[in-house]
Amino acid sequence: MSKSHPTPWAQYNFESEKYSKQYNQLIFSNIHRQFIKFLPPPESKILDIGCGSGRDAYSLARRGYIVTAVDPSIKMLQQAKKYNDHKNINWLNERLPSLEKIKNQKFDFILLSAVWMHISPHKRKKSINTMSQLLNDDGCIALTLRIALPDPTRAIYAVTLEELLKLAKENSLLPIYISRKAKDSFKRSEITWIKVVLKKSQA
């Protein structure tokens, strides 16, 4: 019988080593190749929300970015620091929708990789607003959307592109890239992904 987790980060705390090893098998330049052309110049500030194993934060730091990597799972952050630490990364135990510890900061690029489906529907409006407030004008938010049935045992909720675009529009975020549905990197036939880049229009 599957173990049910009341929060998305509870499962990652419970099996942090397994998830860390699994996610570190994937390569940033492969799974996020569509996002690379939207990255800002080196030394820009990037926020990695739901950084998990730290794979993406590490790759971005090596590219010369100043990265703030946040995750609600303390155990996953421990794994990230162990295997993917870098002098350009600031690791924080934080989560959407509030991100209180960084509410006064600004970023040029925000990444949410396999995170949006863990945000419960009633928290998504606040989450988009928070990210918009953290983003510099002309900055971008890059998201991967899990298109599949919800999974209550893993605190995974249904996601639609239409919902995301509606919330984005309400916060002056314009879609500048929407991918076609792509196969899952772990070859799970029931799951596909859509990649989206939103750009903040100038006030």
Q: Kindly write down the DSSP assignment for every residue of 85-118, as one continuous string.
A: --TTEEEEE--TTT-GGGTT--EEEEEESS-GGG
Rounded CA-CA distance 105/124 in Å is 20
Is 33 a member of any domain? yes
123-178 pLDDT per residue, tens: 999 999 999 999 999 999 999 999 998 888 888 999 999 999 999 999 999 999 99
**In angstroms, rounded to a whole number, what is the distance separating the alpha carbons of residues 12 and 20?**
9
Q: How far is 11 from 5, CA to CA, in rounded Å?
A: 6
Residue 138 forms part of a structural domain:
yes
H-helix segments, 65-188? 74-84, 121-134, 161-170
Instruction: Establish if 1 belongs to a structural domain.
Output: no
Tell me whether residue 129 is in a domain. Answer: yes
pTM, two decimal places: 0.90
The CATH number of residue 65's host domain is: 3.40.50.150
